[in-house]
Amino acid sequence: MDQAANDTHLLPWRCGRWFLSGINVPWQNGGFGADFGTVEEWGQHTYSHATTEQMFAKLKASGVNSVRWWVFADGRGAPEFDSTSGGSVTGLDPNFLTSLGDAIKLASKHDIYIVFNLWSFDMLFADSTPDDRGEHSGGHRDLLTDPGKTQSFINNALLPMLHYPISGTNYTIGNHPNVLGWDLFNEPEWGIIESGAVNGDITQPISLAEMRRFVAEVSAAIHHNSNQLVTLGSASMQWNSEGALGAIGNWWSDAALKFYDPDGFLDFYQVHYYSWMSGNRIIWSYSPLFNTLDAAGFDKPTVIGEFPADATGTGHTPAEILNAIYNNGYAGAWAWSYERLSSFGSWLDSQNAYTSFNFSHPTQVKIECNSLLSSIRKLEK
């Protein structure tokens, strides 16, 4: 059933409710974990003002309103640590905040809204050697399991980031209108013992309780220090749904997270979709093309945070996927990924589908608040 006429399932943000139509920017110019931070062993810092401007201009021309952009990934580039193996967070390198601020200013210029993804399950991989993936790549299990080290991340990286003033404006990162929100962790289930699906490169997975505590404490810090939204990139609705066929349940519900901090909730859900999730549709299916928002039992707006940009293996076209996600009541869809990084395609594979979709649904996609835009222009003069 087409639920477009009723917008209560869309994401409430600023002056309305919206369908987040966009794409993943997992890393720029091939620099995994080095977009904003610096991998010192290689002298790698890949953020580019020109590349970002070009990307945002292309996306805006197709009516895209948002991107999901990775920040720390596995920890190889940022933040800074006091030990070569795990350790507490001590701060951010000199390139980090200036690059992040520049990306936000360009997003404002092109009316693009950013959701920054902080961490990925890769940070639980075994610690690498400097000539492998970078000295601080992986080996950060203790950041999640040790409350003191979690607090070092909040105090020495997260809060300085949220409080950082954007040059030429009266905004900080934590209250800039073009930072829509924060995705705390990409696909945490691949590192959680209870999932039964721990990634083979993770020899020391953590418990669900440990991940929930980390998520709740970081979420609460963002809620206390910004006016932006918080989400989490669940690998599949298998672990984030009460009603999807064969699903385990909602691991990231308010009840589950508020146990650790009353302000540690998620503002919207985010689940990922790849072909393996289609299932047999008799015993199980974790596909948003099969499970509507209502059937899946989601009690908050839910964005499909990843799906293959070229629709690989799904039996559908990118256009069919976008329209099914929209018609099934979800609040957004971010394709994987802008650059071609894997077998799942790139922006070029989904551009036509997004262009057609976005200009067919301007009321739900075009984030436009006249009074807000006016105030931004005044502040950025």
Tokens of 97: 């905040």
246-284 per-residue burial string, b: 16 or more CB within 10 A, e: under 16: bbbebbbbeebbeebbeebbbbbbbbbbbeebbbeeeee
| DSSP string across 308-327 | BTT-TTTTS-HHHHHHHHHH
Query: What pairs with residue 306 in β-bridges?
Result: 272
3-state DSSP assignment of residue 224: helix
pLDDT in single tens digits along all 381 residues of the chain:
344 447 889 999 999 999 999 999 998 988 888 999 999 887 789 999 999 999 999 999 999 999 999 999 999 999 999 987 789 999 999 999 999 999 999 999 999 999 999 999 999 998 876 556 667 889 999 999 999 999 999 999 999 999 999 999 999 999 999 999 999 999 999 999 999 999 999 999 999 999 999 999 999 999 999 999 999 999 999 999 999 999 999 999 999 999 999 999 999 999 999 999 999 999 999 999 999 999 999 999 999 999 999 999 999 999 999 999 999 999 999 999 999 988 899 999 999 999 999 999 999 999 988 654 445 434 544
Query: What does each C-alpha distance from 147 to 129, 216, 244, 329, 351 come to in angstroms?
Result: 26, 12, 33, 38, 43
DSSP H helical ranges for the chain: 49-61, 96-109, 141-145, 147-153, 159-162, 208-225, 254-258, 293-296, 318-327, 347-360, 362-365, 370-379
Q: Answer whether 0.85 is exceeded by the pTM.
A: yes
Q: What is the pLDDT of residue 301?
A: 98
| DSSP string across 198-215 | --TT-SS-B-HHHHHHHH
Q: Provide the greatest CA pair distance for the chain.
A: 58
Tokens of 154: 């909040």
Q: CB–CB of 16/365 below 8 Å?
A: no
Q: What is the pLDDT of residue 210?
A: 98
Q: What is the pLDDT of residue 342?
A: 83
Domains of the chain: 7-379 (3.20.20.80)
CA dist 51 and 58 (Å) reads 11
Q: What is the pLDDT of residue 131?
A: 57
CA dist 245 and 290 (Å) reads 9
Q: Are strands 332-335 and 89-91 parallel, antiparallel or unpaired?
A: unpaired
CA dist 183 and 234 (Å) reads 10
